[in-house]
Amino acid sequence: MTAKQIAEFFVLGLPYVMGVVFIFGAFSRWAIWYTTKRHDWFAREFEKRVTRFIDGEKPGPVKNTSFYVLCKRLLERTYYETFAVRDRIKRRRNDVIMGLNDRIFLVKPGCAWLVKDILNQLKFLKWTEDTPKLMHITRSTIAQNPFFNRVFGLFSISVLNDFVAILPGLFVIAGILGTFIGIAGGLHELGGMNLQDLDNSKNIMDRFLQEIAFAMKSSITGIVFSLALHIVNVIMSPERLYVSMVERFEASLDLLWYRADNNNYPTGQGDFNEHRDPTEALAENALNSELQRTDRHRDTQKAS
């Protein structure tokens, strides 16, 4: 195969290669964004329940309210409530196989790992009047989550996201390279043109112009794919979701810290169990909340 044939093969096949890479890059970006969005979804659900809890509280001093207990109760409620309805539907359908999200994006095990890990870190916090660095705890918990930091549980999100981020620039470079290779192949044939043979010279010039026009399409294709993938990257931005998720989680923990007066670790409470029946866990949680509310009301009446 001659150099001209190699150049023609490269120029002809380059747009198709760029099309395949574009599809791979767009799909990878969507998978990264969706995986991050599932994490952000759980943070939003936790924020809703914290806000609901704070709305039901009255301003004033509290007595024997543990920050760890508040976080554990609300994190467990978030986990059990978000998956209780889905699990009931699955039981009605006699479907014991994991759902599509759990199997491909590992949503439920990722949320369970998040609850476990953040509770393990919160229980060792020393109580102070100042707010601790809860953002560092949130960031480290999310960064170390093995289920949400890998796409399909296989590919590292950071590595794949960095590769997709440089693809728009690579498309432009590949398009320009294809144009130059096409021009170089045409110039080689143009050098053997005999100006005294006008008909042959005209044929050579026509072929040269056709090759230049086709080679220019490589640059156009590269620019189009670059712009399209850049738009996809902007619309599906996992970085924006990540920042929102960390701030949302940290702000919710701050609210619970302000409402507590200690960080005692109750020895009577069991650890978080993600395999527990959600309906049973929610019923027990509701009963404990009602008992605590009754105790607080009784203490208020005695103090008055």
- Residue-wise pLDDT for 53-63, tens only, equals 899 888 877 77
pLDDT (0 to 100) of residue 11: 66
Q: Are 251 and 48 in contact (CB under 8 A)?
A: no
pLDDT (0 to 100) of residue 301: 56
* Lowest pLDDT segment from 53-67, 72-86, 93-107, 255-269: 93-107
Q: Are 226 and 172 in contact (CB under 8 A)?
A: yes
pLDDT (0 to 100) of residue 194: 62
Confidence of residue 16 (pLDDT cuts 50, 70, 90): confident
Would you say residue 204 has pLDDT above 50? yes
Instruction: Give the residue with greater pLDDT, 103 vs 246.
Output: 246
Burial of 84 (0-12, 13-18, 19+ CB in 10 A): middle
Contacts of 50 (CB under 8 A, 6+ apart): 74, 252, 255, 256
For residue 163, CA distances in Å to 93, 105, 167, 269 come to 41, 20, 7, 45
Mean pLDDT, rounded, for 212-221: 80
